Amino acid sequence: MKSELFDSSFYKYIFISICGLIILTRSHNSISILGHTLVDFTIPAIILSAIYLRKYFYVNCIVLLSVAIDNYAILYDGVSANCITPGYLLLIASYYLLFWMSRYINSIEISFSSLQVYLGLFLLISLQWLIATTSYYVFTETFTNNGFSLYFDYLSKWFFVETIPSIFWLLFISILLTVNKVFSFSVLSSQSKNI
């Protein structure tokens, strides 16, 4: 019996592409060919899976892949495990919150409502980042020694560095989707998200 999750080649293509980009860009792993060149694709992957794939199966796979890459990097690549704290559980929860909230977005193709969509995406990405970063920060030695006195310096140092690249990824994919729709290059433009 054929799986409902892969009813068409469209969904297989999107899902495999998303997973491939995560593997290629997750910044701290030796598997990554482009890991230190391109920024991490995990956040855009979760948003795209929410908008176009919609099923929790896909986000579960993305989160498991991300956790597996992190653990591989710690166990076999010598990456510091200081980011794996009890706060890591909130990072995972923030991924699901991002997925759940992104499901209310219909498309990221360029249109008259693109500014509203991207403002909403920026707010969602910012909320996810704030949850993940705060949960990480409270388990660091900096917090133990200084409490929240250095927290806002930490936020101002990393906020744009870690959120804006996700918006650039999404803009790039928006352009690809829009060009595909306008010129009807492939089956992507004829697919409905009613799954």
Q: For the segment 73-120, what is each residue's pLDDT rounded down to a tens digit? A: 778 777 776 777 888 899 999 999 999 999 999 889 888 888 999 999
Pick from 8-12, 122-126, 134-138, 179-183: least confident: 8-12
CB-based contact 147:106 (threshold 8 Å): no
Is the residue at 38 inside a domain?
Answer: yes
Domain of residue 126, residue span: 8-188
Is the residue at 105 inside a domain?
Answer: yes
Is the residue at 27 inside a domain?
Answer: yes
Q: The whole model's pTM is what?
A: 0.83
The percent helix, strand, coil of the chain (3-state, each to 5) is: 70, 0, 30
Structural domains in the chain (count): 1
Q: How many CB atoms neighbour CB 127 within 10 A?
A: 14
Task: Identify the pLDDT of residue 119.
Answer: 94
Is the residue at 71 inside a domain?
Answer: yes
Question: Which tens digits make up the pLDDT trace of 132-156?
Answer: 999 888 888 888 888 899 899 989 9
Is the residue at 78 inside a domain?
Answer: yes
Is the residue at 194 inside a domain?
Answer: no
Is the residue at 86 inside a domain?
Answer: yes
Is the residue at 195 inside a domain?
Answer: no
